[in-house]
Amino acid sequence: MKYHQALVVGAGLAGLRSAVELNQNNINVAVISRVHPIRSHSLAAQGGINAALGNHPRGKADSTEKHAFDTIKGSDYLADQLSALKMTQEGPRRIREMENWGCPFSRTSEGLIAQRPFGGAGFPRTAYATDKTGHVLLHTLYEKAVQLEQASERQNFVFYDEYFVMDLIIDEGKCVGVVAMEMRTGKLEVFRADAVMLATGGAGRMYGNTTNALISTGLGMSLAYRQGVPLKDMEFIQFHPTTLLGSNILMTEGCRGEGGYLVNDKGERFLANYPDSAKAMEVAPRDITSRNMTREILEGRGIGGKDYLHLDLRHLGEKKITTRLPGIRDIAMNFVSVDPIKEPIPVQPGQHYTMGGISTDDSCATSIPGLYAAGECACISVHGANRLGGNSLLETIVFGAIGGEAMAKYIEGGGASKPGKVFEQALDKVEKELNELESRKKGESFAEIKETMASTMAEKVGIFRDETQLSEALKIIQNLKERFKKVFIPGPGGSRSFNFGIYNILDLGGNLDTAECVIMGALNRKESRGSHFRNDFPNRDDEKFLKHTVYSLEGEHPCIEYREVGLGLWEPKERKY
Amino acid sequence: MRKEYTFKVLRYDPARDRRPHYQSFRVPYTEAMTVLDGLFYIQYRLDGTLAFRNACRAAVCGSCAMHINGKYRLACETQVTHISRGTVCIRPMSNLPIMKDLVTDMTKFWEKYRYIEPWLIPGKPAISNAEYVQTPDQRINLDLVVDCILCGICTQSCTVTATDENYLGPAALLKADRFISDSRDSATFERLDLIDSEHGLWKCHTIYNCQLLCPKKLNPTGAIKSLQRRIVHRYLSYNEPSGRD
């Protein structure tokens, strides 16, 4: 059994930032990740990270309060206002800290961090490094972490790369560690800890049409949920307006921030025809833009009558495209053989972000003492019903640091775990489940369950929802959950070393849990707010639904309750742009 | 367009197999299918234990570098129709131990990364809550070097790595150049001392594999030559050379 004071599960931006914070608070910390940290999905973020730095000529009058207001308005008033303000107030210092640690942001002519306009923001406040902001942030933070690891003489900062966490260990109501599999050997190991941070990312892979990495499967959310930690606001799924036709790879909002157009089959900038996007046009918030794009497609004005539109960058010129959006050009050329300098890019809205997640307070603490969550897997909540572009990266580094500090305080305040039988029992439980899975040589097809889930979510739980479709989807997913109990690893079997058949099935289980929550939340929320749009209830209903949805596992299914939203700074108003 | 492709994949499980061998799978073609899609078809339906690293499927995470039909490539951005008339032959990256199938043990690669001290060493502490000033012209020096995704293709395809497993290799040297090229970094001489060593940058034979194969079209050969020039100039007590070619 290994022991560290703190365990961080997941090595994306939120995980690494919390580990750095724990280390700086003299806590012995280990980072456990199923992939090498540099492969984490944070790096796929492109457009930027928001903060009121005031570096842009048009951003001088910006402030952290205005940033908080834009975030709350963008959230359709479902964000907890003080949490959102906390994030925007911490923003400038955390971004400059990343710069000080080496992050190669693009620069203004004065040599400061460059900022660009983004959807739903009153000022150009999205700091960026060309169109690879997530990539440079993750590399920088990993570099910082490696520096601390090397400097740590007594091995107080350790990485366990390619360890797959399979369960959380709870003792007397407190989280005291995890069971993980060393992927190389297939060996199960117990990690005892005084506190655990989950920073496992989103759950986008429940949708077929997602921008998310193949490892964004909601398993971390599900591990907490199965231990009795509630999830929150899962029905709010962000659909990014511009994902590449077919593969749904992200085409950053920066394309539009830099001046790109969205056009339909007739060559019209159709956003002008819709009252909610007529003014902001291409930089209207994501929920609005995705909806209006989908309307165009449904009404037959997609390109060639098909299910996509054009993102036209040609008027930006070769120089702007190659200096500000080089990654976009590479992806378009490699994946659809389109050079954006010469041709428009075929795009369609696609699943992008899980606004909901593990319910935490604004110090990242969950309902189980010793268990924390940060980043996309958590719901604090700062994004409410719709996240603004550029706020997710901000959330990771701000709340990674806040969560790390809170964990350090908890550990120093006497949260120590004790060795005991519970660890052996947890290991035995996982071993038994694994044996059962491995011994099943026939049964339900993994591929079929996964593909049915992905297409059901994309077709019936998408941008436009209604009672009939959602009820059908719920039936299908609950049926899949039953079938999942008999799922088996295809093929002749093999050792546990890098046995992806095992990971795939665990991931699918996580995704089925999150999918069920999304649908039940969407069914119960008989209103339209932010990313959640009901054709049968097209208006926002503050009286009934200015509330967070909270899901707890009862038996095998979620039980839904509602919780008050933290207001107090700004009165909810109709959301107009 | 063919209806079906044969994927010939190197299989090896050290716990069970005496030596690596190839196994063929028939994979139906779907529109715009990538090599990674084909591998997933096998893993999801035919043999769940087939091991290959993956994450982003968008050519930014660097997980899926492998040897595909005669060349090192990222499986996720390689379309089957672009490289094959019927057979896709896949083996893991060379010069690293195989842990399972297409998954290599990259410990050595990451050791080299760690060796060059891959973090910013600024000359003076930053002013509280302020960024270091760096002009757009200074930032341009970083444009290419910071794009490296550490996929390993350059280092593992380098023929020098094949003869000296401790050779720092293009990826680590490019990373060293990334910090030396950064106007905010002040540890140029210390960094040059680290790489001016037995297994360091003088081992480069200018074979250009790294440059030819880099999926991000970076120029590690150029970076290595520029670092070599810096060291020569330093020995000859010349001024630091500016720019690079």
Of A96, A107, A146, the CB nearest to B135: A107
* Short-list A48, A129, A40, A98, CA closest to B142: A129
- pLDDT for the residue B238: 60
Of A113, A213, A450, the CB nearest to B57: A213
Same-domain status, B156 and B230: yes
Query: B221 Cβ partners below 8 Å, 6+ apart?
Result: B170, B204, B206, B208, B210, B211
Look up tokens 């960026």; give the residue: A128
* Short-list A192, A191, A196, A205, CA closest to A224: A196
What CATH number should be reported for the domain holding residue B71? Answer: 3.10.20.30
Query: Positive or negative CA dihedral for A350, A458, A75, A365?
Result: negative
Task: Please judge whether B46 and A490 are an interchain contact, meaning their C-beta atoms are less than 8 angstroms apart.
Answer: yes
Which of B54, B74, B104 is the endpoint of a domain? B104
What CATH number should be reported for the domain holding residue B157? Answer: 1.10.1060.10
Cα separation, A349 vs A311, whole angstroms: 11
Cα separation, A269 vs A263, whole angstroms: 5
- pLDDT for the residue B239: 57
Same-domain status, B86 and B155: no
- pLDDT for the residue B245: 44
Cα separation, B125 vs A92, whole angstroms: 18
Same-domain status, B58 and B146: no
Cα separation, A376 vs A14, whole angstroms: 8
Quick check: A176 and A194 in contact, CB under 8 A?
A: yes
Task: Please judge whether A39 and B106 are an interchain contact, meaning their C-beta atoms are less than 8 angstroms apart.
Answer: no
Cα separation, B169 vs B157, whole angstroms: 10
Same-domain status, B124 and B227: yes
Q: Which of A34, A39, A438, A488 to mutate to test the interface with B (most CBs of B within 10 A)?
A: A39
Same-domain status, B188 and B147: yes
Question: Is-catalytic flag, A240?
Answer: yes
Q: Which of A41, A46, A49, A100 to mutate to test the interface with B (most CBs of B within 10 A)?
A: A100
The answer for A 53-92 residues in CB contact with B (under 8 A) is 92
Query: A452 Cβ partners below 8 Å, 6+ apart?
Result: A476, A480
The one catalytic residue among A4, A94, A192, A256: A256
The answer for A 232-271 residues in CB contact with B (under 8 A) is 246-247, 249-250
Q: Which residues of A touch B16 (CB under 8 A)?
A: 494-495
Torsion angles phi and psi, residue A50, rounded to 5: -90, 140
Which of B49, B80, B104 is the endpoint of a domain? B104
Q: Is residue B94 part of a domain?
A: yes
* Number of independent structural domains in chain B: 2
Query: B5 Cβ partners below 8 Å, 6+ apart?
Result: B26, B27, B29, B33, B38, B80, B84, B86, B87, B88
Task: Please judge whether B55 and A96 are an interchain contact, meaning their C-beta atoms are less than 8 angstroms apart.
Answer: no
Q: Is residue B197 part of a domain?
A: yes
Q: Is residue B243 part of a domain?
A: no
Q: Which CATH architecture has domain A422-564?
A: Up-down Bundle (1.20)
* Short-list A389, A387, A251, CA closest to A309: A251
**ipTM > 0.85 (yes/no):** yes
Domain that holds residue B204: 107-235
Q: CA nearest A12 in B: which residue?
A: B61
Quick check: A70 and A388 in contact, CB under 8 A?
A: yes
* Short-list A524, A450, A454, A471, CA closest to A235: A524
Quick check: A395 and A383 in contact, CB under 8 A?
A: yes
Q: Is residue B27 part of a domain?
A: yes
Same-domain status, B82 and B120: no
Per the CATH hierarchy, to which homologous superfamily does domain A2-236+353-412 belong?
A: FAD/NAD(P)-binding domain (3.50.50.60)
Task: Spell out the domain ranges in chain A.
Answer: 2-236+353-412, 241-349, 422-564
In which order are the strands placed within the sheet that holds A345-354? A237-244, A345-354, A309-312, A261-263
CA gyration radius for chain A?
23
* Short-list A238, A237, A232, A235, CA closest to A360: A232
Instruction: Give the torsion through C-alpha atoms of A58, A64, A68, A69, to 10 deg.
Output: -50
Same-domain status, B123 and B221: yes
Q: CA nearest B184 in A: which residue?
A: A102
Peptide linkage before A381 cis (omega within 30 of 0):
yes
Query: Could you please report the per-residue DSSP string of A268-279?
Result: --GGGGSTTTTT
Torsion angles phi and psi, residue A98, rounded to 5: -60, -40
- Burial of A61 from C-beta contacts in 10 A (0-12 / 13-18 / 19+): exposed
Task: Please provide the average confidence, as pLDDT, over all residues in chain B.
Answer: 94
Quick check: A457 and A515 in contact, CB under 8 A?
A: yes
**Backbone conformation region of residue B217, classed left if phi is above 0, alpha if psi is from -120 to 50, else beta:** left
Question: Average pLDDT, stretch B193-221?
Answer: 96
**A-B C-beta contacts closer than 8 Å:** 185
Q: CA nearest B25 in A: which residue?
A: A491
Cα separation, A229 vs A552, whole angstroms: 7
Q: Is the pLDDT of residue B243 over 80?
A: no
Q: Is residue B32 part of a domain?
A: yes
Q: Is residue B219 part of a domain?
A: yes
- In sequence order, what E strands does A227-330 have? 231-232, 237-244, 261-263, 309-312
Of B16, B51, B55, the CB nearest to A39: B55
Q: Which residues of A touch B110 (CB under 8 A)?
A: 36
Torsion angles phi and psi, residue A96, rounded to 5: -65, -35
Query: Positive or negative CA dihedral for A112, A113, A117, A123?
Result: negative
Query: Could you please report the per-residue DSSP string of A135-200?
Result: HHHHHHHHHHHHHHHHH-TT--EEEEETEEEEEEEEETTEEEEEEEEETTTTEEEEEEEEEEEE--
Q: Which residues of A touch B176 (CB under 8 A)?
A: none
Q: Is residue B173 part of a domain?
A: yes
Q: What are the tens digits of pLDDT across the range B67-103?
A: 999 999 999 999 999 999 999 999 999 999 999 999 9
The answer to which of A221-225, A473-477, B126-130, B132-136 has the lowest mean pLDDT is B126-130
Give the count of beta carbons closer than 10 Å to the beta carbon of residue B47.
Answer: 22
- Strand partners for A537: A534
Question: Average pLDDT, stretch B131-158?
Answer: 95
Protein fold of A241-349: Flavocytochrome C3; Chain A, domain 1 (3.90.700)
Look up tokens 């919780």; give the residue: A563
Same-domain status, B212 and B231: yes
Residue type, A362: D
Task: Please judge whether A113 and B55 are an interchain contact, meaning their C-beta atoms are less than 8 angstroms apart.
Answer: no
The CA distance from B206 to the nearest CA of chain A, in Å, is: 27
For the entire predicted model, the pTM comes to 0.96
Same-domain status, B190 and B118: yes
- pLDDT for the residue B242: 54
One pLDDT digit (tens) per residue for chain A, 577 residues? 999 999 999 999 999 999 999 999 999 999 999 999 999 999 999 989 999 999 999 999 999 999 999 999 999 999 999 999 999 999 999 999 999 999 999 999 999 999 999 999 999 999 999 999 999 999 999 999 999 999 987 889 999 999 999 999 999 999 999 999 999 999 999 999 999 999 999 999 999 999 999 999 999 999 999 999 999 999 999 999 999 999 999 999 999 999 999 999 999 999 999 999 999 999 999 999 999 999 999 999 999 999 999 999 999 999 999 999 999 999 999 899 999 999 999 999 999 999 999 999 999 999 999 999 999 999 999 999 999 999 999 999 999 999 999 999 999 998 778 889 999 999 999 999 999 999 999 999 999 999 999 999 999 999 999 999 999 999 999 999 999 999 999 999 999 999 999 999 999 999 999 999 999 999 999 999 999 999 999 999 999 999 999 999 999 999 999 999 999 999 999 998 8
Which of B54, B72, B104 is the endpoint of a domain? B104
CA gyration radius for chain B?
21
**Backbone conformation region of residue A304, classed left if phi is above 0, alpha if psi is from -120 to 50, else beta:** left
The answer for A 210-229 residues in CB contact with B (under 8 A) is 213-215
The CA distance from A470 to the nearest CA of chain B, in Å, is: 27
Same-domain status, B81 and B118: no
Q: Which residues of A touch B60 (CB under 8 A)?
A: 43-44, 132, 135, 327
Of A108, A136, A504, the CB nearest to B146: A136
Task: Please judge whether A498 and B101 are an interchain contact, meaning their C-beta atoms are less than 8 angstroms apart.
Answer: yes
Is there a common fold for A2-236+353-412 and A422-564? no
The CA distance from A378 to the nearest CA of chain B, in Å, is: 21
Same-domain status, B66 and B113: no
Same-domain status, B74 and B114: no
- pLDDT for the residue A154: 81
Cα separation, A513 vs A232, whole angstroms: 13
The one catalytic residue among A240, A329, A529, A540: A240
Q: What are the tens digits of pLDDT across the range B34-51?
A: 999 999 999 999 999 999
Torsion angles phi and psi, residue A232, rounded to 5: -140, 140
Question: Is-catalytic flag, A256?
Answer: yes
Of B51, B59, B132, the CB nearest to A500: B51
Cα separation, B204 vs B188, whole angstroms: 20
Cα separation, A128 vs A327, whole angstroms: 13
Q: Is residue B241 part of a domain?
A: no
Task: Please judge whether B47 and A491 are an interchain contact, meaning their C-beta atoms are less than 8 angstroms apart.
Answer: yes
Torsion angles phi and psi, residue A301, rounded to 5: -100, 20
- β-strands A309-312, A261-263: how paired? antiparallel
Which helix (DSSP H) or strand (DSSP E) does residue A5 occupy? strand A2-9
